[in-house]
Amino acid sequence: MKDLIRAALAVLIVSALLMWANAELGKSAGKAGADTITVYNWGEYLDPDLLKEFTKETGIRVVYETFDSNEAMMTKIQQGGTSYDIAIPSEYMIEKMKENDLLIPLDHSKIPNLKHIDPYFLDLPFDPGNEFSIPYFWGTVGIAFNPELLDGDYDFSSWEDLWDPALRQKVILVDSAREVIGMGLNSLGYSLNSTDEKELDEASEKLATLAPNVKAIIGDEIVEMMQRKEAAIALTWSGQAADMMSVNEELDYAVPEEGSNLWFDNMVIPKTAANVDGAHKFINFMLDPEVAAQNADWVGYSTPNKDALDLMDPELVDDERYYPDEEIRDHLEVYRNLGPEMLGDYNERFLKFKMEMN
């Protein structure tokens, strides 16, 4: 019994010490300070040096947290436990958050750097007049591939190439319903926002025939698999493809001609914000051409900041794979918020697709 008490006491003392140390660390990290903002962003989606620079410039400390899906982000903001001041959702999620009244309107007079943004990326259907959101990065969905691992000459200018029987067990798909079902729809020439059950049935049937070629359906692990030559072909986002290529130069990226997804991630101020003024300063800071250029360099996705482009490596900026010109962009499609029923339908089709893979 004595031993038990002694052991329990030891545990309590150690826990108390750790808690105290944690609180002290929190203080020095600025968690308890008055002028802080909490930024909620995708993983690997912001150059950490810029956060330090922001603090140096404005005196506002940044608490940085990450998420790995739009849906998880929205759930957390809806619950409202943490006072997120900035979040960076994708376009269809902005539409949804607007519907659910989760966003605070922006004061454009506090964001003078907005003038640096290419007008192409402003005033888009998901947020007319940019009342709630400011462009952060944009990109496409396409096919990353390793020509060295493929026999024959593939350029993946068509989705149909993926169905080539010679590519048995070579294709990795991203674990995301909209991307995969969208690919099925696009390959048949339908819109990737289709809500027509007949078109969706056709797309599902078409996707089922891809089974022999599918090696796996995974998440962010794709990047490493492609870098290490574990896989030859991957359906992925342009930025992830850029990530892969930064390590393995053999790789290439293509957006098939039948059409694909064009997406935007925008900065918003959620209803949970405690420091709306600081959040505006942060948005304005990120739009500064030099900051945007440095960030785009680090992250690898395409920046909508036209003045930042002049400061970047011209070889990258002129690369049609990352910065497709307007003509190509115009036949790409932006995701629309399809509503919960259709999203459920897409997900059930995706679940069925996964079961057909085996």
At closest approach, how far in Å is the CB of 72 from another protein?
6
At closest approach, how far in Å is the CB of 227 from another protein?
12
Candidates 66-74, 97-105, 304-312, 322-330: pick the segment binding another protein (CB under 8 A).
Answer: 66-74
At closest approach, how far in Å is the CB of 236 from another protein?
15
DSSP-assigned beta bridge partners for residue 172: 216, 234
Q: Does 351 bind another protein (CB under 8 A)?
A: yes
At closest approach, how far in Å is the CB of 221 from another protein?
7
Candidates 25-33, 127-135, 290-298, 344-352: pick the segment binding another protein (CB under 8 A).
Answer: 344-352
Our CB check for another protein shows the closer of 146 and 260 to be 146
Our CB check for another protein shows the closer of 23 and 351 to be 351
| 3 state SS for the chain | CHHHHHHHHHHHHHHHHHHHHHHHHHHHCCCCCCCEEEEEEECCCCCHHHHHHHHHHHCCEEEEEEECCHHHHHHHHHHCCCCCCEECCEHHHHHHHHHCCCECCCCHHHCHHHHHECHHHCCCCCCHHHCCEEEEEEEEEEEEECHHHCCCCCCCCCHHHHHCHHHCCCEEEECCHHHHHHHHHHHCCCCCCCCCHHHHHHHHHHHHCCHHHEEEEECCHHHHHHHCCCCCEEEEEHHHHHHHHHHCCCCEEECCCCCCEEEEEEEECECCCCCHHHHHHHHHHHCCHHHHHHHHHHHCCECCEHHHHCCCCHHHHCCCCCCCCHHHHHCCECCCCCHHHHHHHHHHHHHHHHHHCC
Q: Does 150 bind another protein (CB under 8 A)?
A: no
Q: Does 166 bind another protein (CB under 8 A)?
A: no
Site string for another protein, 283-322 (x = CB under 8 A): ----------------------------------------
Q: Does 100 bind another protein (CB under 8 A)?
A: no
Q: Annotation-wise, does 44 bind a ligand?
A: yes
Q: Annotation-wise, does 154 bind a ligand?
A: no
Q: Does 188 bind another protein (CB under 8 A)?
A: no
Site string for another protein, 214-243 (x = CB under 8 A): xxxxxx-x------xxx-------------
Q: Does 51 bind another protein (CB under 8 A)?
A: no
Q: Does 79 bind another protein (CB under 8 A)?
A: no
Please give the residue ranges that form the binding site for another protein (CB under 8 A): 69, 71-72, 74-75, 169, 172, 175, 177, 214-219, 221, 228-230, 340-341, 343-344, 347-348, 351-352, 354-355, 357-358
Which residues are documented as binding site for spermidine?
Answer: 44, 92
